[in-house]
Structure 1
Amino acid sequence: MQPQQLRQLSRQLVRQLGMLNSQCGQLALTPVQAHTLIELEQGPCTVNQMSERLRVDKSNASRNLAMLLNQGLIDSVPNPDDKRSLLSQLTSDGKSTLTALHHQLDQDTQAILDQLDQDEIDQLESSLLRYYKALTITEHQQGYTIRAITPLDNAAVAALIRRVSAEYGLTPDKGFSVADPHLDDLCQHYQTANSCYWVIEKNNRILGCGGIAPLAGDTQWSELQKVFFLPELRGKGLARTLTVKALKFARENGFKGCYLETTEVLKEAVKLYQSLGFVDIPTALGSTGHDACEIHMLKTF
C-alpha cells in the first residue's frame, strides 16, 4: 500500500462515518461534541485535559464545552486540585443523551459488523489496533533519522554494540555477535550484495543500529543481524520500525524469508519478533557462528 492509497481510504472512512457532518446521527450534537460527552463519561475534566484527550486545540475544546453547558448537558464545578480552573461533568440530561448516543452508534456499528465473518472481524480488530499504535508511536519518533551506515559511523556503532552487549551480559567469550571479527568495520562488511546496515541517530549521535544480509551457509534466507539500541532509544517503537525496514529490504531482494538468532535475556526483542510473525524453530539455520544464541526464529515471505 502506498501513502496515497492509505490517505484515500482514510478520507473515505471519515466521510462514510459522518465525521464531516454538522450533526452526529439523529442527535443534535456535532462529532466533536459527541466525543466530548464520551470522554466526560470517564469522569470530570478540565479544558486542558479535554484538549489533550480529543487532540484539539484548547480554544476548540473550550468552545464545545461551552455549547454543551448551554444545552444543559454538562455543568461546571470547582476543581479541588486547582482553584484557578473548573471541572466539566455530565448532568442527568447529558447522561441520558449519551445513553441514546451509544445506543444509536452501537446499532450502526453492529450493522457494519454483520457484513463480516468472524475471521474478518478478528483480522479487522488486529489491524486497527496495530494501525492505531503506529499512529500514536510515530509522534515519539520525531527528530530521529534512520539511514545507511557510512565508514565514519564504524567506531560509534562498534562502541554501541559493545556497550549494550555488556549491559545484557553478552560477552565476547560466549559466542555472541559482539565477538564478530568485522565488528569494527561494519560499513565495509555490509557493502556486499543484498545486504544493508542502518543506524538511528538524533542530533548527530548514533543511538541504535541493525542490519540484514544473506544467511551464511544458506543464502536463500536473509538474516536479521546486530540490532542494538541504547536505553534512551527504547520504548519509542524504533526497533520495530528498523526491523520492518529490514524485512521490506529482504522481500525486495527476493529472499524466501528472514531468520534470526537471539537469547532469552533480550525479552523485549523476542516479543517484538513474535509480534512481527517470527516463529520459533527447533534448530539453527546456516552457519552464523553464534552458538551461544539459544533462540532461533524464522519468518517466511
Structure 2
Amino acid sequence: MSSSTRSLPSLPQTLVDAAIRVALDEDLGLAGDITTNATVAANATANAVIAARKLGVVAGLALAEAAFRAIEPETDFTIEIGDGETVKPGAVIARVSGNARALLTAERVALNFLGRLSGIATLTRQYVDQVAGTHAKIVDTRKTTPGLRAFEKYAVRCGGGYNHRVGLFDAVLIKDNHIVAAGGIASAIKAAKAAAGHMTKIEVEVDTLAQLEIVMREKVDCVLLDNMTPANLVEAVAIIGGRCLTEASGGVNLETVTEIAQTGVDLISVGALTHSASVLDLGLDFIASPKQAAIQA
C-alpha cells in the first residue's frame, strides 16, 4: 500500500512547528551550533540530498522540512519520494538547498524525526503485508514516545496501518484493572455507558471466553480479545457473530500475526509498531556544484 492508494491526512503545521522548536532548542542550547559557526562562512550556500541507506517506507517529511526552514525560512526543500512510499537503498528522498550553516544546523533534528517515523512506517508495512488477503486491519496502541504520539501514529498510517484511540480522552477502553476496580464486567460497562457521551465508543478487554459471554449480554462497540490462542480467537469471533468489532492483542509479532488474522478478527493491535521500531537509516550529504567539482578536481 502506498500513499497513492490511500490518502494520508496532513499533520497540523502548528503541531509540527512546536515539536521542531523543542528539538532545536534542545540541540542548540545557549550557544548555538558552535562547530558550524566557526568553520562555515555566514553567506556560504550548499546543495544537499537526503537519501536512504536501507529499504523502507518514508514518513515525516513535513517535520524534516520544518527543521530546515525554522533555521532559514528561504531554504528550498524538494520532495522526491513522498510519505507512504517505499524507498530503496541509495534513492534520494528529498533535495535541500540554501544557506550552508542552516542546512548543517538543522540536519540532525530533521534526520532524527524522519528516520524515527520512517522506521515506524517501515515496520508497520511489514505487519500489513503479513495480513494481506485477510480482512484484518493492523492498528497501533498508546505505547508511543511521550510528546511524539501524533507523529508516530501518523507514521503508522504511512505504513498502511490504522490508529486506535489517540489517548485516554477519545474512547472508553475498559481493561482488566478497571473491571476489578469497578466490581465486575457488567458493572464497569453500565457505569461507562452512563458517563460516556453518545459519540463515545466503548470497548471492553476480555481474556477468557467466559468473560466474553458476560460482555455480549451488554451492548458494546468492540471487544478486545487479549492473549487468546488462535483456537480461542476463532471461537470468540463465532460467539460475537458480527455484533461488534473484534480486536486481538497480546503476543503479536511478525511470526504470529498471519495466523491471528486468519481467525477472522477485525483488528490486530500491535504495540511494537511504535515501541520497538528501528530507525530507518538515512543520511544527508552535500553535493558539489559544477564549479566546486572543478576546483576540487
TM superposition score category, shorter chain reference: under 0.3
User: Which protein has the larger Cα radius of gyration, Structure 1 or Structure 2?
Assistant: 1
By percentage of residues, which structure has more helix?
A: 1
TM-score by length of 1: 0.20
TM-score calculated relative to the size of structure 2 = 0.21
Higher RCO, Cα 8 Å, sep 6+: 2
